[in-house]
């Protein structure tokens, strides 16, 4: 039904069709003039030339012939000149019309192009934030390998580019957090905020790409450069293999001392690290084989994939080491923090806070417990922690939450959406000034990271 309505509707000629028709008309007119003039020219050319030696023509007849010939000779040039004039006039009119409707910057003062609607910009910023964050994380890892091989001085330009990209991305995340908080509230201003986020993310990626070619040249695997690069990767691989075996024992020990809830954030880390190391082994062997065959480009690809696997395995194992350090520090701080909280609440009538502290004291004598969770409950019972042991406890809890969320995003990038990354960026920003708020944000980030992105 729709197609029949469209076929039955009269169509208006587009400007391009009008232009074609005008050109056809002019060409047709020019052909008509030539058609009318050509026969006369042909007849004159085909007429026998009189023998002037036998019959000399009269002077008047000779002058008439010259006049007729001159007129005939001028017809075709005049017709061509007229057609050219018509075409030139048409071109002038067309250029004038086009200059009045031009949308390019050369067209003069123009109204700015309308921004896309809010939902479209919202989706675009989410995708760009996640992409830019992944690019920055990958660049940081790659720069670490390059630094070991080339030295800090050689990678200084790329380190500065990475730092600039991180600053742009941090500003973009801050803008997004404010946007999610409802600031600004005007629809037009909100669309401009989203457009600004797009610009920040684009600039972050541009700054990385600006140094990409030079960085690739630095990391180029010449015939005499493949060996050192492989040796560095293989040394990291061997060290990480030993650390992974130790990390497995660490997780078991922590679960025995503090319960499985205390090690929930690193559950599966050892298995994932082993899988990455298996993949790295395969890629390192392929890099060696390609190098022996003189296939430098293939060797480079295999080596970089191996480095990615090694870096991710290192993040998983490092997460376990950091958790062990945080739990150990928290366990030593809980008794003093509990005493400080009870002193801070003395004289206050707060039944909920009293019950929370009583529950923590029971945990201390009831068997294995999670010291980080105990500190979190103590800090929340007090509210805004004063300087001293409670302030230290609040910072320790917040830092553990931020690093746990950050490790998860690093090891699962590609599966974590922009909302979780935004909350994580805000948690990092608040870590030094508002530890309790940073802990809340990091906890939200981790919960969102475990959810599949929309």
- pLDDT exceeds cutoff 50 at 443: yes
Nearest CA among 396, 337, 405, 403 for reference residue 372:
396
- pLDDT exceeds cutoff 60 at 33: no
What is the per-residue pLDDT across 93-106, written as a single tens digit (0 to 9) for each?
444 444 333 333 33
Nearest CA among 168, 171, 196, 135 for reference residue 429:
171
| Rounded-to-integer distance, Cα 393 and Cα 333, Å | 7
- How many helices (DSSP H) and strands (DSSP E) are in the chain? 15, 0
What is the per-residue pLDDT across 104-157, written as a single tens digit (0 to 9) for each?
333 333 334 456 788 888 999 999 999 999 999 999 999 988 888 888 899 999
- pLDDT exceeds cutoff 80 at 314: yes
What residue segments make up the domains of the chain, in order of their start? 115-219, 262-449
What pLDDT is attached to residue 114? Answer: 58
**Sequential DSSP letters for 1-59:** -HHHHHHHSPPPPPHHHHHHHHHHHHHHHHHHHHHHHHHHHHHHHHSPPP-TTTSPPPH
| Rounded-to-integer distance, Cα 302 and Cα 413, Å | 21
What are the two backbone dihedrals, phi and then psi, of residue 31, each rounded to the nearest 5 degrees?
-65, -35
Q: Where are the alpha helices (DSSP H) in 102-225?
A: 118-150, 156-180, 187-210, 212-218
What are the two backbone dihedrals, phi and then psi, of residue 370, each rounded to the nearest 5 degrees?
-90, 105
Give the pLDDT mean for 271-298: 94
pTM flag (> 0.95):
no
Produce one character per residue of 133-143: b if its CB has 16 or more CB atoms within 10 Å, e if not.
bbbbbebebbb
Mean pLDDT (the chain, rounded) = 80
| Rounded-to-integer distance, Cα 302 and Cα 318, Å | 24
Give the pLDDT mean for 246-261: 96
Nearest CA among 362, 363, 360 for reference residue 341:
360
| Rounded-to-integer distance, Cα 26 and Cα 21, Å | 9
Of 186-190, 244-248, 345-349, 372-376, the poorest mean pLDDT is in 345-349
Give the pLDDT mean for 67-80: 43
- pLDDT exceeds cutoff 50 at 416: yes
Give the pLDDT mean for 43-58: 38
- Determine which helix (DSSP H) or strand (DSSP E) holds 154, and give its type and residue range: none
Q: How many Cα atoms within 13 Å fall on the side-chain side of residue 263?
A: 23
What torsion do the CA atoms of 443, 444, 446, 451 make, to the nearest 10 degrees? Answer: 150
| Rounded-to-integer distance, Cα 435 and Cα 175, Å | 21
- pLDDT exceeds cutoff 80 at 442: yes
């Amino acid at each position: 039904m729709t197609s029949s309505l469209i076929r039955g509707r009269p169509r208006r000629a587009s400007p391009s069709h009008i232009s074609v028709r005008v050109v056809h008309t002019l060409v047709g007119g020019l052909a008509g003039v030539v058609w009318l003039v050509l026969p006369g020219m042909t007849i004159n050319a085909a007429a026998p030339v009189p023998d002037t030696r036998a019959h000399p023509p009269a002077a008047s007849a000779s002058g008439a012939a010259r006049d007729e010939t001159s007129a005939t000779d001028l017809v075709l040039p005049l017709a061509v000149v007229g057609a050219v004039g018509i075409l030139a006039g048409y071109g002038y009119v067309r250029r004038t019309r086009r200059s009045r409707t031009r949308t390019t910057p050369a067209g003069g003062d123009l109204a700015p192009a309308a921004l896309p609607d809010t939902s479209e910009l919202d989706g675009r910023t989410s995708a760009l934030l996640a992409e830019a964050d992944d690019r920055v994380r990958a660049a940081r890892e790659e720069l670490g390998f390059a630094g070991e091989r080339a030295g800090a001085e050689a990678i200084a330009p790329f380190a500065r580019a990475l730092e600039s990209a991180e600053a742009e991305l941090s500003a973009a995340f801050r803008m997004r957090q404010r946007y999610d908080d409802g600031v600004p509230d005007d629809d037009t201003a909100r669309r401009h905020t989203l457009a600004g986020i797009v610009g920040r993310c684009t600039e972050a990626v541009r700054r990385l790409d600006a140094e990409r070619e030079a960085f690739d040249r630095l990391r180029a695997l010449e015939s005499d450069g493949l060996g050192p690069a492989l040796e560095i990767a293989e040394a990291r691989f061997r060290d990480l293999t030993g650390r992974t075996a130790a990390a497995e024992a660490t997780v078991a020990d922590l679960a025995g001392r503090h319960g499985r809830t205390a090690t929930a954030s690193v559950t599966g880390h050892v298995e994932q690290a082993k899988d990455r190391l298996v993949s790295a082994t395969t890629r390192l062997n392929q890099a060696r084989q390609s190098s022996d065959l003189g296939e430098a480009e293939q060797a480079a690809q295999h080596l970089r994939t191996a480095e990615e696997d090694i870096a991710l395995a290192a993040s998983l194992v490092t997460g376990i080491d950091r958790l062990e350090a945080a739990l150990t520090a928290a366990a030593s701080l809980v008794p003093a923090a509990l005493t400080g909280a009870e002193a801070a609440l003395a004289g206050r009538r707060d039944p909920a806070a009293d019950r929370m502290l009583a529950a923590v004291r029971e945990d201390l004598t009831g068997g294995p417990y999670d010291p980080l969770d105990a500190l979190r409950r103590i800090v929340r019972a007090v509210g805004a922690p004063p300087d001293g042991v409670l302030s230290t406890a609040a910072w320790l809890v917040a830092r553990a939450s931020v690093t746990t969320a950050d490790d998860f995003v690093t090891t699962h990038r590609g599966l974590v959406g922009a909302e979780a990354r935004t909350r994580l960026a805000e948690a990092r920003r608040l870590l030094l000034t508002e530890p309790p708020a940073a802990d809340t944000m990091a906890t939200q980030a981790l919960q969102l990271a475990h959810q599949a992105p929309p």
